[in-house]
């Protein structure tokens, strides 16, 4: 009998439990993505130079934040395993060290972002754009540490299987950010008119308030039992080191995955008729990125379920939780793939309106057809990677991801797209092969790690 069919009821319970966690986590991911979207839309009203500055500045900020957030994702499985084992103090210790690790990672980068203009000029950016982006980052950087603190507390809530407080705070934060954006950009309601810089201050203020709100929540109700702010005066070197060792491969993995798509975009920019190719590539990539938030959230839910089962010493439960999350991620991406395959014009309309350039629409439809296959493997690898995090298995998965994304995906994609003249579709087929390699490799790793003997020794 397979791990996914232990008599029926257990599987049904697992599916419901995973979805109960996954739905709010997915909504948090989408809400956080929408904050950046709102920033770009509102700044677009200030003109092309302002839009270029915020795109440049936000790309710099979120690349650094993504890696640091990846490191702090380690709080979630640390708490989940401790909760599964019934060790409240170990869970609290993991969250406390997450707050310290956020400070250690965030302070140097907050200082470094103060020199953004000089760094952007060194990369060859236009002086006016670099100056405006630097001013934007000079404001936004003050929210960097609170953003990481929020991530650490989020790991505590989700590791304890309580994602709803995080969702509530994030939704309020999205609304507050939009209101502050408008007020500080255009000088409404007696606020100073700061333009692009106002967007940076809005993000910093909103992020700080989100941390304060979540910090207040974890001191009340069921989460109060962790007493996370008690004993926070100094770090615990042993626990801090263990958290960093678990987290740094996750951060590197997030960076590798983000970097592969940035590299792919640069390669598309080298193609003949690159304007059309880049526009079509961006449409397909944006659509795939939004869809990816669902299996990413399911993977996080799987990490919690697997972590709690592992903490209890329940290999069957960990195995069932991991494969259930993987199946749910694949099922959603199958639906997404059907949309991309059967109705590409609907997806293109969302990003390019009713009258897109014919050449762009035709190429984007072709790329969405490739993305339909791409989606299936992306859903599996994202979900099973989360399950592996629940086992605190991060280093080997990072190596599998590095080989799959860069060794297979980019190499094959570059060869097909540029070397063999297949253009953007060839590049996307290479990325698809890389994701397929990751899906197979990570699934094999999870199958091995959840054997009864392997889980006992983990």
Per-residue pLDDT tens over the stretch 105-139 = 999 999 999 998 898 888 777 888 889 989 999 99
Sign of CA dihedral 267, 269, 273, 275: positive
For residue 125, which of 52, 73, 67 has the smallest C-alpha distance? 52
Split at pLDDT 50, 70, 90, the class of 7 is very low
Q: pLDDT tens digits, residue range 348-405?
A: 887 766 656 788 889 989 999 999 998 999 999 999 999 999 999 999 999 999 999 9
Q: What is the mean pLDDT of residues 88-98?
A: 95
Q: Please check the confidence at residue 1 and state whether its pLDDT lies above 50.
A: no
Amino acid 38: pLDDT:
82
Split at pLDDT 50, 70, 90, the class of 433 is very high
Which tops the pLDDT comparison, 398 or 233? Answer: 398
The pTM (predicted TM-score) of the whole model is 0.89
Which tops the pLDDT comparison, 217 or 257? Answer: 217
Question: What is the residue-averaged pLDDT of the chain?
Answer: 89
**Range 392-422 burial, b when 16+ CB lie within 10 A, else e:** bbbeebbebbbbbbeebbbebbbebbbeeeb
Q: Please check the confidence at residue 15 and state whether its pLDDT lies above 50.
A: yes
Residue 415, H or E segment: none
Strands (E) in 16-57, as ranges, are none
Q: Please check the confidence at residue 188 and state whether its pLDDT lies above 70.
A: yes
Which tops the pLDDT comparison, 9 or 164? Answer: 164
Which burial class, exposed, middle or buried, applies to 232 when counting CB atoms under 10 A from its CB (0-12, 13-18, 19+)?
middle
Residue 47 CB contacts under 8 Å (≥ 6 apart), including other chains: none
Q: Please check the confidence at residue 48 and state whether its pLDDT lies above 80.
A: no
Q: What CA–CA distances, in Å, run from 132 to 143, 144, 181, 292, 365?
A: 18, 19, 16, 32, 36
Task: At 384, give phi and psi (nearest 5°).
Answer: -75, -30
For residue 382, which of 330, 433, 338 has the smallest C-alpha distance? 330
Q: What is the mean pLDDT of residues 284-306?
A: 92
Q: Are 180 and 206 in contact (CB under 8 A)?
A: yes
Tokens of 97: 């060290």
Tokens of 186: 């255009």
Amino acid 355: pLDDT:
57
Cβ neighbours around 373 below 10 Å, total: 18
Least confident of 21-25, 39-43, 200-204, 331-335: 39-43
Q: Please check the confidence at residue 183 and state whether its pLDDT lies above 70.
A: yes
Residue 52 CB contacts under 8 Å (≥ 6 apart), including other chains: 129
Residue bearing tokens 């996080």: 300
Tokens of 17: 């439990």
Amino acid 12: pLDDT:
83
Cα 239 from Cα 89, distance rounded (Å): 12
Q: What CA–CA distances, in Å, run from 278 to 18, 66, 86, 337, 388?
A: 37, 24, 52, 21, 35
Q: CA triplet 60, 65, 71: central angle to 5 degrees?
A: 145
Cα 278 from Cα 416, distance rounded (Å): 17
**Percent of the chain with pLDDT strictly greater than 90:** 64
Amino acid 8: pLDDT:
52
Cβ neighbours around 243 below 10 Å, total: 27
Sign of CA dihedral 287, 290, 291, 296: positive
Tokens of 333: 């991406």
Q: Please check the confidence at residue 453 and state whether its pLDDT lies above 50.
A: no
Cα 151 from Cα 82, distance rounded (Å): 18
Cα 191 from Cα 186, distance rounded (Å): 8
Q: Are 24 and 294 in contact (CB under 8 A)?
A: no
Q: CA triplet 235, 237, 241: central angle to 5 degrees?
A: 115
Amino acid 4: pLDDT:
43
**Percent of the chain with pLDDT strictly greater than 70:** 95
Q: Are 151 and 76 in contact (CB under 8 A)?
A: no
Amino acid 99: pLDDT:
97
In terms of DSSP H, where are the helices of 73-115?
A: 75-84, 88-113
Cβ neighbours around 324 below 10 Å, total: 28
Q: Are 209 and 203 in contact (CB under 8 A)?
A: no
């Amino acid at each position: 009998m397979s791990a996914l069919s232990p008599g029926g009821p257990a599987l049904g319970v697992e599916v419901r439990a995973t979805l109960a966690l996954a739905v709010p986590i997915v909504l948090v991911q989408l809400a956080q993505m929408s904050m950046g979207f709102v920033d770009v839309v509102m700044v677009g009203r200030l003109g092309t130079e302002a839009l270029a500055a915020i795109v440049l500045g936000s790309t710099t900020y979120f690349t650094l934040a993504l890696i640091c957030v990846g490191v702090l994702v380690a709080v979630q499985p640390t708490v989940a395993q401790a909760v599964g084992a019934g060790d409240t103090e170990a869970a609290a210790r993991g969250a406390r060290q997450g707050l310290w690790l956020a400070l250690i990672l965030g302070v140097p980068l907050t200082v470094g972002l103060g020199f953004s203009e000089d760094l952007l000029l060194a990369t060859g950016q236009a002086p006016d754009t670099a100056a405006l982006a630097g001013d934007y980052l000079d404001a936004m950087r003050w929210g960097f540490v609170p953003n990481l603190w929020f991530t650490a507390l989020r790991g505590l809530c989700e590791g304890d299987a309580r994602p709803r407080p995080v969702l509530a705070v994030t939704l309020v934060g999205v609304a507050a950010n939009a209101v502050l954006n408008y007020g500080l950009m255009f000088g409404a309601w007696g606020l100073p008119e700061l333009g692009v810089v106002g967007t940076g201050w809005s993000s910093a203020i909103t992020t700080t308030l989100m941390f304060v709100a979540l910090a207040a929540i974890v001191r009340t109700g069921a989460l109060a039992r962790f007493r996370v702010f008690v004993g926070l005066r100094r770090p615990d070197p042993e626990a801090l080191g263990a958290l960093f060792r678990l987290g740094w491969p996750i951060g590197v993995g997030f960076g590798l995955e983000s970097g592969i798509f940035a590299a792919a975009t640069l390669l598309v920019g080298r193609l003949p008729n690159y304007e059309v190719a880049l526009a079509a590539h961006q449409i397909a990539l944006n659509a795939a990125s939004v869809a990816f938030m669902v299996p990413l959230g399911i993977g996080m839910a799987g990490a919690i379920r697997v972590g709690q089962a592992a903490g209890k010493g329940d290999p069957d439960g960990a195995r069932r939780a991991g494969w259930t999350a993987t199946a749910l991620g694949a099922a959603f991406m199958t639906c997404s793939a059907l949309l991309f395959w059967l109705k590409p014009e609907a997806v293109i309309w969302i990003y390019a309106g009713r009258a897109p350039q014919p050449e762009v629409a035709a190429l984007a439809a072709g790329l969405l057809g490739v993305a339909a296959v791409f989606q299936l493997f992306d859903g599996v690898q994202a979900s099973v990677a989360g399950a592996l995090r629940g086992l605190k298995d991060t280093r080997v998965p990072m190596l599998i991801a590095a080989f799959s994304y860069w060794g297979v995906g980019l190499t094959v994609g570059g060869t097909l797209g540029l070397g063999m003249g297949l253009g953007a579709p060839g590049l996307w087929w290479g990325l698809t092969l890389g994701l397929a390699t990751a899906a197979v490799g990570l699934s094999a790793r999870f199958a091995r790690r959840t054997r009864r003997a392997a889980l006992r020794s983990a």
